[in-house]
Amino acid sequence: MTTSSSSAAEKILKKEIWKRVVIFLLVSFIFFFIMYLTQHQNNKYILKTLELEGSEKVGDSLFKTNCVGCHGITARGLVGPDLHSITNRMDDKQIINQVIGGQTPPMPSFEIDPQNMSNLLKYLHSLE
């Protein structure tokens, strides 16, 4: 009697453990899948940006509308750092991630299409 009741309890416990393992695996799978998709989208965006030819002039005006509040009208720095010779300190991929990433508050993440990102890059490259 004792044995059979303990084995019934064991069965319930095993079922409970399995349930948790399955839930854990499912949640991890969904998490990594979303991470993979985000990363994939991000890489596609960067590759697209890098293959486009940017316009320094358009980049300049984009900078004036979006970035001067923090980086200064001549990009010499204000709240944000001086961006002159930034392209010697960061590669294009890092700059793109800086602009779209929102990883360093208070700098926001910008939703900018690849062509305009390419224009901005061209402008940043012109800052000696």
Binding-site ranges for ligand HEC (CB under 6 A): 66-67, 69-71, 79-81, 83, 86, 89, 95, 98-99, 104, 106-108, 110, 120
Q: How far is the CB of 43 from ligand HEC (least distance, A)?
A: 19
Nearer to ligand HEC, 48 or 60 (CB): 60
Per-residue H/E/C for the chain: CHHHHHHHHHHHHHHHHHHHHHHHHHHHHHHHHHHHHHHHHHHHHHHHHHHCCCCHHHHHHHHHHHCHHHHCCCCCCCCCCCCCCHHHHCCHHHHHHHHHHCCCCCCCCCCCCHHHHHHHHHHHHHCC
- How far apart are alpha carbons 115 and 43 in whole angstroms? 15
Q: Which is nearer to ligand HEC, 50 or 80 (CB)?
A: 80
CB of 20 to ligand HEC, least distance (A): 40
Q: Considering beta carbons, is residue 17 or 73 the nearer one to ligand HEC? A: 73
Minimum distance from CB of 40 to ligand HEC (Å)?
Answer: 24
Nearer to ligand HEC, 52 or 86 (CB): 86
Shortest distance, position 33 Cβ to ligand HEC, whole Å:
30
